[in-house]
Amino acid sequence: MNQKVDIEALHETSINSDQPLLHLQQVSRSFMAGDREFQVLKHIDLAIHTGELVAIIGASGSGKSTLMNILGCLDHASAGSYQVNGQETREQDDDALAALRRDHFGFIFQRYHLLPHLDAVRNVEIPAIYAGTAQVKRHERAQALLTHLGLGGHLQHRPSQMSGGQQQRVSIARALMNGGQVILADEPTGAL
């Protein structure tokens, strides 16, 4: 099932509820700016199930990136509950959150965040290094992913030697490297 979700509608409506992979209940996030508190997310309810494609849409400044950071365990909610595969994230320490990110998520960043001194294969291998995957296995998987994405002739190229579209495909391969259940893409283009 594919969903297109307006960020504003999440403040009022729950999408799904039975055994979701990602489950937010009454999630809020606020930030302090000087002596003022700004509430970016307010009482968000969202359930995403395995196999679903969900697009979070909304105006600039509506909280999309904040929500993505919470979904990817890069940030904590100020209030509410967020569960990944039934596991509550609120009480997790930094190491446990890093393990959740490593095991469950692949990230495609808007600006790709490829390391300029590494070639395509090495950039794709990074998540597997953190996962402790053996060098031969991660090297083979990185090459296979890049080849599948049409970059077989660019395995040894650094980001500066690739077009923007090629860099994006390296970023996609990196997101798929550990086989996570969730791919989070920040402002994906139509080409993605």
C-alpha to C-alpha distances, 117 to 30, 106, 145, 164, nearest whole angstrom: 37, 22, 20, 16
Task: Evaluate the CA torsion angle 89, 60, 106, 55 in order and state its sign.
Answer: positive
**Tens place of pLDDT for every residue, the chain, 192 residues?**
455 555 555 444 344 447 899 999 999 999 999 999 999 999 999 999 999 999 998 898 899 989 999 999 999 999 999 999 999 999 899 999 999 999 999 998 878 899 999 999 999 999 999 999 999 999 999 999 999 999 999 999 999 999 999 999 999 999 999 998 999 988 776 666
C-alpha to C-alpha distances, 171 to 27, 111, 127, 190, nearest whole angstrom: 29, 9, 11, 15
Which residue ranges make up each domain of the chain? 2-92, 120-185
Superfamily of domain 2-92: P-loop containing nucleotide triphosphate hydrolases (3.40.50.300)
